[in-house]
Amino acid sequence: MKRNTNVLSELKPINKDCLTRLPIKDWPEAERPREKLLHRGADRLSDAELLAIFLRTGLPGRSAVDLARDALVQAGGLRALLNLPQAEICQLKGVGEAK
């Protein structure tokens, strides 16, 4: 029997604060926003996880979920973020015209 060498998949319980320090690709598959969306549906994701899917990538030391949380806090929530003018959205850390 082949043993799974991915140590991250063997962590239980999962410390989500530690996960955000890792690139999302290194998270256990069940914790990755895109995989959660595909397997559990959008209603099972937080606003930050949904926004992270659109952001696609983070910055060094900051996952897309971290950037999404920061953007939501700065804007005052998802509805407020969606109502911001494009120029203000582009000023958020990790977001630019390409995103």
H or E element, residue 53: helix 47-55
Which pTM was predicted?
0.73
Instruction: Tell me which of 98 and 51 has the higher pLDDT.
Output: 51
User: At 47, is the secondary structure helix, strand, or coil?
Assistant: helix
- Residue ranges making up the domain that contains 79: 12-90
pLDDT single digits (tens) 31-72: 999 999 999 999 999 999 999 999 999 999 899 999 999 999
For the chain, the domain total comes to 1
**Cα atoms in the 13 Å half-sphere on the side-chain side of 42:** 6
Q: What residue type is 8 in one-letter code?
A: L
Do the domain assignments include residue 58?
Answer: yes
Residue at token pair 């996880």: 49
CB 81 within 8 A of CB 71: yes
Say which range, 18-22, 25-29, 30-34, 60-64, has the weakest mean pLDDT: 18-22
Do the domain assignments include residue 2?
Answer: no
pLDDT the model gives residue 8: 41
Dihedral sign, CA of 75, 80, 82, 86? negative
